């Protein structure tokens, strides 16, 4: 099939960007979206032109680095999949596909479709961890945890930090990301000693990074490739209030 691409090109964060149009011929519907971009870049290099910069690593929906806006949606059409898992069969012959980087002040553009998401790293450094002495691996049954709680903690821990929640939110809020990281520890015994400081420090760092407030329109949950529930945001609010009051 034939596809027309309108891709955001921007040399660096200091320069103005613009959309460039590219015609893609004989695109296989079995290609992933990133494989299609690979073909585009090969063609551009052959012509002596600058290839389109985009983030990618595992290409298995695990690392979260491949995020981009496709036709106005984070990670493109469909639910529960990152951009690297998106197949060209989701599009029709003759479609015009608009591709942009995440649009958020806290995610400045590095080049083309690549944005700086180190704000997430700083939020994690502020409190997204458990302090524990190193040593031998404890027995898996040493601490008994009810399965429903373990499952909920695992669901929260499945967040890959791609930034789709921020890109989808009208306020560029990082609440779903922070909530998932706080929730995964708040549910488990290992996370209790630093429970209060974790919520306070991560929310404080989130505000410092310039993310907006939760818009309550659930766009974050709708576009999250791991389908993380906004119920974790409610837990984050409770954790933060308890840490402030008690």
Domain boundaries, the chain: 3-110, 117-134+144-245
Taking each helix axis as running N to C, give the angle between helix 231-245 and helix 195-208, from 0 to 180 degrees, rounded to the nearest 10.
Answer: 110
Q: For the segment 1-50, what is each residue's pLDDT rounded down to a tens digit?
A: 999 999 999 999 999 999 999 999 999 999 999 999 999 999 999 999 99
Give the class (CATH, top level) of 117-134+144-245.
mainly alpha
Pick out the chain residues at pLDDT < 50: none
Determine the pLDDT at residue 38. 98
Q: Please determine whether the domains at 3-110 and 117-134+144-245 fall in the same fold group of CATH.
A: no
pTM of the entire structure? Answer: 0.93
Determine the pLDDT at residue 151. 95
Fold of the 3-110 domain: Ubiquitin-like (UB roll) (3.10.20)
Residue with tokens 């981009």: 68
Determine the pLDDT at residue 139. 80
Query: How many Å apart are CA 194 and CA 234, to the nearest integer?
Result: 19
In 3-state terms, the chain is what percent helix, strand and coil (to 5)?
A: 40, 15, 50
């Amino acid at each position: 099939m034939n596809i027309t691409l309108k891709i955001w090109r921007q040399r660096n964060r200091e320069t103005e960007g613009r959309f460039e149009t590219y015609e893609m011929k004989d695109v296989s519907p079995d290609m992933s979206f990133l494989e299609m971009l690979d073909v585009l870049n090969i063609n551009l290099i052959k012509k002596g032109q600058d290839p389109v910069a985009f983030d990618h690593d595992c290409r298995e929906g695990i690392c979260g680095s491949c995020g981009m806006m496709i036709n106005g949606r984070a990670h493109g059409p469909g639910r529960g999949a990152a951009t690297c898992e998106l197949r060209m069969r989701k599009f029709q012959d003759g479609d015009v596909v608009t591709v942009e980087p995440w649009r958020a002040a806290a995610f400045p553009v590095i080049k083309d479709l690549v944005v700086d998401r180190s704000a997430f790293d700083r939020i994690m450094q502020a409190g997204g961890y458990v302090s524990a002495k190193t040593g031998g691996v404890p027995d898996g049954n040493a601490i008994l945890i009810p399965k429903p709680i373990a499952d909920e903690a695992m669901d929260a821990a499945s967040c890959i930090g791609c930034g789709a929640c921020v890109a989808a939110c009208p306020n560029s809020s990082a609440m779903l990301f922070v909530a998932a990281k706080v929730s995964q520890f708040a549910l488990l015994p290992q996370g209790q000693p630093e429970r209060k400081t974790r919520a306070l420090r991560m929310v404080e760092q989130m505000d410092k990074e310039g993310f907006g407030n939760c818009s309550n329109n659930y766009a974050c949950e709708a576009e999250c490739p791991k389908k993380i529930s906004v119920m974790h945001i409610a837990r984050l609010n409770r954790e933060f209030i308890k840490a402030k009051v008690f």
